[in-house]
Amino acid sequence: MNSPEILQSRVFDESGRELKGLELHVDHRESARQLTLIKQSGASAKPKRVDLLLDQQATQMIEQGWQSWSTVRRSSPSDIRRARAAAPRWYRAEMMAQPSDAGRRVIADGFINTDAGLLGVVEPSGPLASFSVDEQASITLSFDLESHPLELGESLRLGTLYGDDLHDQVAKAAARNDGPSLLGWCSWYQYFAEVTPAHIRANMSLANQHGLDLVQIDDGWQREIGIWDQQSDQFDVPIESLAKEIGELGMRAGIWTAPFLATAGGELARRHPEWLLREAHGMPRVALQHFGWGGEAGRVFALDTTREDVLDHLRETYAKLRAKGFSYFKIDFLFAAAIEGLRQGGDRVLRQEALRMGLAAIREGIGEDAFLLGCGSPLVAAVGLVDAMRVSEDVAPYWQPRLYPPGFPESSVGCRNAVEQSALRAEMHRRWWINDPDCLLLRPSDTQLNEHERAVLTDAILGIGAYCVLSDDLSLYGSPEWAEVERIRELIPQLDKPLSIPDPFATPLSVEGPHHRLDIDWESPKARLALL
C-alpha cells in the first residue's frame, strides 16, 4: 500500500464541536505524506482531535495496542468488544492510548496492518496517531492534539504518513537497532518478588559456566517502588557487590526498575507530592493498581516528567545505578509518563513528548554505551532512545491466559499472548530496535508448560529475532536443557536479522528472515522453524 490520499479532514475541540479556520497542509514526498495543521484564520483555538478520511479501504485489520502489553490481534472492524467499556479507568488508560475508545471501535495505534497493506505514522514527539476502520471498510487516521493551543499563523506538525515501507523508513530515520545480541538470564519467572542474593549468586555461577552474556536482577530487590537507592529486607547484600561479581565473571550486570512510578503513601509520594501527575481536580493521577507493591489500596501514581526536578532525579538515579556496576537496564511500566493528566509543562507538551523527556533523562544518566530495554512502553515515543523493546505481554509458566477484564483476553500474562504479539510485531525487529519477546522458560519441572509448549515457545522466540533471556532456576536444567541452550547460542547469529511477514492474516503465520522461516500457530499451539 502506497501512502494514501486524504479525502477529508475535520478538526474538533474537547466538546466534539467542529472547528473552523484550521487547515491541513499535505507535503507529498514520494511514498510519504508529511502532515501539518495550520491556524489560518479566526481567534486562537484548542483543537482536541483531527480526523483524516483516507482513500484506502480494508475489511481485515490488526488491532495494534499502543504499548508493550496492549492487545495485538487479527480482527475485523465490527469486532469492537463492547465489554471493554466497563473495565476500570486506570486499566483502560494502561492498555489504550484513548481510554474512551474502549468498547466503541477497534483501534490500531501508531500503525495499522490491513488486508490492503500497511500504513503508519511514527512521530516520536508528536501527537498520538491512531487508525480505525468503519463498517463500510473506510480507514480514518486520527490525531489526539490534547487541546494544544494554536494562535493565528501557528502550525503543529502532526507527522509523516507512510505506506508499506514504514518499518524501513523508521530504520533510516531514528532507530537504535544495532545493539548486541544477548543470551542472558533474568530472575523474575522463577523467583518473582521473593528473589534473594543467594538466588542471584547460584544462577550467575551456572550462567557463567554455560557462557551466558547477562545476569539481570528483576523486581523484588528494591525496598519500595519509586525508591531505587534502598534494598528490600530480603536483599541483604549490597546491590553493587552483586553487580561487581557478575562483571568479574565477564557478564553484563542488569537491573529492573520502574522509573515513572511512586506508590500511594510511599516515601517518594510523601517526600515530593509536587512531582506527581495530577487529575483536573488536583488529586494525584493513579497509573495502575498493584497490590503486591503495597501502597494505599494498591494505588500507584505517575510522575510528571515535564518537571525539571523530576528529570534531574531520573538522571541522578540512573547515573548512580550505572556507577554501581550495572550496564543493562530494564525499565518497566513506562506508559505511566504518557497517560492523560495535568503536567507542569502545560497543554503545549504532548503526552508522547512527556514520555520522551523522561526516557532521554534516563539515557543521559546511564550513558550511550549502556543497554536500555523498555517495557510497558508506548512504542512510537521510544524510537531512537531504547536499544530493545518488549513487544508482548508477559510469558508465564503456563500457556493460556487466565485472569483479565472482560474484552481483554490478549492483555493478560501467558505464553500464548506473548507469542501472538511478538509474532505480529516481528517486522519491528532490527528496524525500530531489538524486539524482546519476553523470557524463555525451559525448566522441565516447577512449571505447567508441557514439553511441547516449551518447544513451541523456544522456536517462536528464535524465529522472531532470537533475543533470548532465560528465566528459570538453572539448577533445574539437565543435559537436554543445556543442549537446547547451546543450540540457541549457535543459531542466534543466523536468526537475529530484520524480518518480514508475507501475510499477517494467514494461519499459521509465517515470519521470514534471510536464513530461516518460522510457521507459528499460537492457538494450537504449533511451530516449525526451518533453516534456509
Q: Label residue 1 by pLDDT band (50, 70, 90).
A: low
Range in 209-213, 344-348, 350-354 with the lowest mean pLDDT: 344-348
Residue 238 has pLDDT above 70, yes or no: yes
Domain end, chosen from 168, 203, 234, is at 168
Clarify whether residues 428 and 466 are in a common domain. yes
Clarify whether residues 401 and 475 are in a common domain. yes
Clarify whether residues 194 and 139 are in a common domain. no
Span 102-126, mean pLDDT? Answer: 95
Q: Label residue 85 by pLDDT band (50, 70, 90).
A: very high
Q: Is residue 117 part of a domain?
A: yes
Clarify whether residues 162 and 206 are in a common domain. no
Clarify whether residues 315 and 456 are in a common domain. yes
Clarify whether residues 427 and 325 are in a common domain. yes
Clarify whether residues 88 and 194 are in a common domain. no
Clarify whether residues 100 and 247 are in a common domain. no
Q: How many CB atoms lie within 10 A of CB 506?
A: 12
- Which element (helix H / strand E) includes 368? none
Q: Label residue 60 by pLDDT band (50, 70, 90).
A: very high
Span 185-192, mean pLDDT? Answer: 98
Clarify whether residues 197 and 159 are in a common domain. no
Q: Is residue 29 part of a domain?
A: yes
| Per-state percent for the chain, helix, strand, coil, to nearest 5 | 30, 30, 40
Q: Label residue 217 by pLDDT band (50, 70, 90).
A: very high
Q: Label residue 31 by pLDDT band (50, 70, 90).
A: confident
What are the residue ranges of helices labelled H in 174-262? Answer: 188-191, 197-209, 239-248
Clarify whether residues 352 and 218 are in a common domain. yes
pLDDT score, position 236: 94
Q: Positive or negative, the Cα torsion across 375, 381, 383, 385? A: negative
Span 329-341, mean pLDDT? Answer: 97
Q: Is residue 292 part of a domain?
A: no
Clarify whether residues 212 and 323 are in a common domain. yes
Q: Is residue 343 part of a domain?
A: yes
Q: Is residue 359 part of a domain?
A: yes
Q: Is residue 126 part of a domain?
A: yes
Instruction: Extract the C-alpha cell encoding 235.
Output: 536483599
Can you give the residue range of the structural domain that contains 43?
Answer: 6-168
Q: Is residue 523 part of a domain?
A: no
Strand duo 509-513 + 117-121: pairing: unpaired
**CA 519, CA 505: separation in Å to the nearest integer?**
13
Q: How far is CA 318 from the centre of its chain?
A: 20
Instruction: Extract the C-alpha cell encoding 486.
Output: 547451546
- CATH number of the domain to which 359 belongs: 3.20.20.70
- 399-441 pLDDT, tens digit per residue, is 999 999 999 999 999 999 999 999 999 999 999 999 999 999 9
pLDDT score, position 4: 84
Clarify whether residues 109 and 209 are in a common domain. no
Residues 6+ apart with CB under 8 A from 393: 68, 69, 401, 410, 411, 412, 413, 414, 417, 418, 421, 438
pLDDT score, position 180: 85
Structurally, the chain folds into a number of domains equal to: 2
Q: Is the peptide bond before 525 cis (omega within 30 degrees of 0)?
A: yes
- 432-477 pLDDT, tens digit per residue, is 999 999 999 999 999 999 999 999 999 999 999 999 999 999 999 9
Domain end, chosen from 168, 192, 218, is at 168
For the full predicted model, state whether its pTM sits above 0.85: yes
Q: Is residue 394 part of a domain?
A: yes
